[in-house]
Amino acid sequence: MITRTLYYQTAALGIATILISSIIMLSGASPITVLDSMLSGAFSTPDQIARVFSTLSPLLLCACGLMFTFTAGLYNLGIEGQIVFGAIATMVPIRLLENSLPPALVILLAIAFGTAGGMLWGLFAGILNVYGRINEIFAGLGLNFVADGLALYLIFGPWKRPGVASMSGTEQFGEVLWLPTFGNTEASPVALAIALLALGATLLVLRGTYYGLQLRAVGYNLRAAYVLGVPSVRQLLSAFAICGGLAGVAGALQVLAVFHRLIPSISSHLGYLALLVAMLAGTNLWLLLPIAFFFSALNIGSLQLPLSLNLESSLAGVMQGMLVLAVLLGRGLSETNWLDKISVLRRNV
């Protein structure tokens, strides 16, 4: 079975490579040059490498969160909104206490608020799903719009820079509140440590605890799990809350480590990217880190496409999407025994 899956996966990756290459060639470039310039765009200067890591942290956090909801059989498309709401909540202690408490304490509070904010937004989607019977995909997407709207309102309204009404964001806060970085780059060891910690905890909880087992049972078959005495509602809501909480931390990192203010697209669409990472990893948690790293590198390296090759940097998104589609397709085909069916048909004829 394993070899069969492997066989299909390899074929799927091969097909994805061919498709991606043909798209690149259609846009008038060579796939090798594109790959080369993206990799060099991600790894040739310390700044670029640092940026790969500073993207990796929120991406990994979100992907870890999504493992909880996926395990519970849920599609948390509301993760973008959970990042945004986490980022908004992060700004609250910063704005209120920036000048009255020691910076380290403000940063801690900000991360705590961010986590709580994301968790709240996740729970909100969960409540709509469990009690309101609204499919979590639509509840999540709806809440994404609400969180986006709220961020815009704050940026244009109560939190706007003095005398300015622009969607370019709130005033930057003082450098003492920025997370410490490696040298003069953008990568923060604190952010990276938080993300790796979250990955470790995710591995531990989902693989090694009774809670993880219960969550899995809920994911397998909600009704059966309920009948067998698993507190299903609690499990579902907790999955939403954990995922939202981790997304909230990601939002806090976007504010504290990357942008140092609230901007309208504070999530940088990393939530959607994390969905791709999680889908590609499937249940194999060990794959999260390498895939997230690879996707971060593509994301950062893609800036070289307009710079060196005059190509659109959204090509990176096309590549990532293609890859995921192909792998899902490969997985699906490896489970349907259509080859067997055909041979059975042949024999019958």
Between CA 27 and CA 19 the distance in angstroms is 13
* Residue from the set 18, 193, 227, 307 that interacts with other proteins by CB under 8 A: 307
Angle at the Cα of 227 from the Cα atoms of 224 and 230, rounded to 5 degrees: 90
Phi-psi region of 247 (alpha: psi -120 to 50; beta: other; left: phi over 0): alpha
CB nearer to other proteins: pick between 137 and 196: 137
Residues 71-90 that bind other proteins (CB under 8 A): 71, 73-75, 77
What stretch of H or E contains 30?
none
Given a contact cutoff of 8 angstroms between Cβ atoms, the answer to whether 94 and 100 are in contact is no
Residues 173-192 that bind other proteins (CB under 8 A): 184, 186
Q: How far separated are the first and last CA of the chain, in Å rounded?
A: 28
Residue type (1 letter), 16:
A
- Please tell me what DSSP assigns to residue 285: G
Phi, psi of 278 (to 5 degrees): -65, -40
CB nearer to other proteins: pick between 193 and 224: 224
* Residue from the set 97, 142, 182, 331 that interacts with other proteins by CB under 8 A: 331
Residues 209-238 that bind other proteins (CB under 8 A): 213, 216, 219-221
Nearest distance from residue 307's CB to other proteins, in Å?
A: 6
Nearest distance from residue 165's CB to other proteins, in Å?
A: 4
Q: Does 202 bind other proteins (CB under 8 A)?
A: no
Between CA 349 and CA 162 the distance in angstroms is 80
* Residue from the set 207, 209, 224, 341 that interacts with other proteins by CB under 8 A: 207
Nearest distance from residue 154's CB to other proteins, in Å?
A: 13
What stretch of H or E contains 314?
none
CB nearer to other proteins: pick between 59 and 198: 59
Q: What one-character-per-residue DSSP string does 215-279 give? A: HHHHHH-HHHHHHTT--HHHHHHHHHHHHHHHHHHHHHHIIIIIISS--TTTTTTHHHHHHHHHH
* Residue from the set 3, 99, 100, 284 that interacts with other proteins by CB under 8 A: 284
3-state secondary structure (DSSP) of residue 326: helix
Convert residues 52-71 into a mask of x (bound to other proteins by CB under 8 A) and - (unbound): ---x--------------xx
CB nearer to other proteins: pick between 194 and 315: 315
Nearest distance from residue 54's CB to other proteins, in Å?
A: 10
CB nearer to other proteins: pick between 215 and 237: 215
